[in-house]
Amino acid sequence: MNTHISESIITRTWEFGETDLLVSFFTTDRGRLKGVAKGARKSSRRFANCLDSFCLTRLEYERKSGRELYFLHSGKLIHGFPELRTDFHALSLASYMVELAETLFPLGVSEQRMFLLLKNAFLALGGHMRKEELRVLFEAKALALGGYSINFERCCDCGRRYAAEGRAVFKQKKGGIACLKCEKESARLPGLDPDAARGLDQIQATPLTPLGDSQKALLTEELMNEMKKVLRLHLSYSLGKELKTARYLS
C-alpha cells in the first residue's frame, strides 16, 4: 500500500454517496488534492472532528492507480481554529482566503509557502488584528506567491527607476507603477504614496513573515486604503474574475 501522510488544511467537503465525504484539502507538500473519506458520515472513528472546513489535520491517504481522487484512510485533528466558527467576519475572510488560494494554485500544484501562508492567516484570524488589515497582507503575499507580484522597481512606461521619493500611479494592465511624468492619477489609475508603495513591496517580498504586529505597523488607515484600491484592481485583472466569496467581505 503506497500511503502518504501530510499536514493538511481542509478547504471544503461535500456529501458523496450515502455515507462518504468528498474532501478538498491543501497539503504542505503536494498542493491541493481531493479525496474520498469512506464512511465518514456514518462513523467518526477514523476521522474524529478533523474533516470540518478550515481544520488543520494530519491526513493519511493513498492515490488509486489511474484515478484523480485519493482514498483517505484516516485523519487526526491538529488545530480546529474554533474562532472561525464563532465570528461571521472571520469565517467570511477565511472562506475568501481559501478561494484565492485555490484559484492561484489548482489541483496538484505544490507550493509549501502557500500552505504556510494559509495556516498563518488562520492563526492570525484568531487574534486581535483588524480583518481589513489582514486581508491586505494576505492578498499581497498570496498574489506574489502565485506569480503576480506588482513591479515597484521601475516606471512601467519610461523605465526610470522608482526611488520611492514621490507618488506613483498603479497601472493594472501592466502590473506595475508609472511615474507622474508618464501618467496621472484617476479612479481607474489609483495613486500610491511612497510609504504605501514601499510597504506593499515589502509585504509581497516576505510571504512567510507572520501576519501580525510586525507588519501591522506598516498599515496606517490612509496607507491601507491606498493599498486596498491597488490590490483589488490587481487581483481582479490578474485572475480575470471576481471571487465569489468577496461579496461577503464588504
pLDDT exceeds 80 at position 227: yes
State whether 138 and 227 are in the same domain: yes
- pLDDT number for residue 127: 80
Across the range 24-31, mean pLDDT stands at 94
Could you give the percent of the chain with pLDDT greater than 90?
69
- For 91, residues 6+ apart whose C-beta sits below 8 A from its C-beta are 84, 85
- Decide: 125 and 46 in contact? Cβ < 8 Å: no
Would residue 189 count as lying in a domain?
A: yes
- Percent of the chain whose predicted confidence (pLDDT) is above 70: 94
- One domain for residues 9 and 132: no
pLDDT beyond 70 at 211: no
Give the pLDDT band of residue 103 (cuts 50, 70, 90). very high
Is residue 132 domain-shared with residue 205, that is, in the same domain?
A: yes
When pLDDT is cut at 50, 70 and 90, the band that residue 164 belongs to is confident
Euclidean distance between CA atoms 12 and 22, whole angstroms: 9
Q: Extract long-range pairs of 85-93: CB within 8 Å, 24+ residues apart.
A: 87/125, 89/131, 90/125, 90/126, 90/131, 92/245, 92/248, 92/249, 93/125, 93/131, 93/134, 93/135, 93/249
CATH number at residue 66: 2.40.50.140
Q: Does residue 126 sit in the same domain as residue 231?
A: yes
Same structural domain, 112 and 215:
yes
Residues 24 and 112 in one domain: no
Position 12: which residue type?
Answer: R
Q: Note the pLDDT of residue 36.
A: 93
Q: Give a yes or no: residue 191 inside a domain.
A: yes
Please tell me the total count of domains within the chain: 2
Are both 139 and 204 inside the same structural domain? yes
Residue 206: predicted pLDDT: 84
Q: Are residues 49 and 108 in the same domain?
A: no
Using CA atoms in the order 115, 117, 123, 126, what is the torsion angle rounded to 10 degrees?
Answer: -120
What's the confidence (pLDDT) of residue 64? 77
Give the tens place of pLDDT for each residue, 35-67.
Answer: 999 988 887 788 988 999 999 999 999 987 667
The CATH number given to whatever domain includes residue 135 is 1.20.1440
Can you give the residue range of the structural domain that contains 94?
87-149+183-249
Q: Which of 24, 49, 80 is the last residue of a domain?
A: 80
